[in-house]
Amino acid sequence: MVIAVLALWGLNGCSSSSSADPKTIGLVQRDTFVQVLTEVHVIEGVKKQRLMRNDDEGAIILQHYAELFDRFDIDEERFKTTYQWWYQHPAEMDGILEEVGERLADMEREANRKD
């Protein structure tokens, strides 16, 4: 849900590219953003695969997002603003998504080792 909203929201902002440094405009720091975005992908993957057996899946997903944002001391609005900034800088966003992919691959390898 959040990813779909972010994708649509990002498309809206494509035309107004800003050259400001994310550190100077109150955005989530890059390393933290990579960690949060990695976990967002995990949450969305679980949701997409319907791995939750509870009838109230939407509430559970929202709870996971609330816990994630709380753990990193950010709110949804700051996450969305940060996402939009990076989305407007596609070359840099590619690097972030590559890191996210590497982290997800590491998590998968670790999970497979435990099996």
pLDDT (tens digit per residue) in 27-79: 999 999 999 999 999 999 888 776 656 667 778 889 999 999 999 999 999 99
Per-residue confidence (pLDDT) for residue 88, from 0 to 100: 95
3-class secondary structure for the chain?
A: CHHHHHHHHHHHHCCCCCCCCHHHHCCCCHHHHHHHHHHHHHHHHHHHCCCCCCCCHHHHHHHHHHHHHHHCCCCHHHHHHHHHHHHCCHHHHHHHHHHHHHHHHHHHHHHHHHC
Burial (CB count <10 Å: 0-12, 13-18, 19+), residue 32:
middle
Decide if pLDDT at 22 tops 70: no
Q: In the chain, what percentage of residues exceed pLDDT 90? A: 57
Please state the rounded mean pLDDT for residues 90-112. Answer: 95
Per-residue confidence (pLDDT) for residue 106, from 0 to 100: 95
Token couple for 60: 């559970």
Domain boundaries, the chain: 29-114
The overall pTM is greater than 0.85 = no
Distance in angstroms (rounded) separating the CA atoms of residues 27 and 69: 14
Q: In the chain, what percentage of residues exceed pLDDT 70? A: 73
Per-residue confidence (pLDDT) for residue 21, from 0 to 100: 65
Distance in angstroms (rounded) separating the CA atoms of residues 82 and 29: 9
Distance in angstroms (rounded) separating the CA atoms of residues 40 and 45: 8
pLDDT (tens digit per residue) in 28-40: 999 999 999 999 9
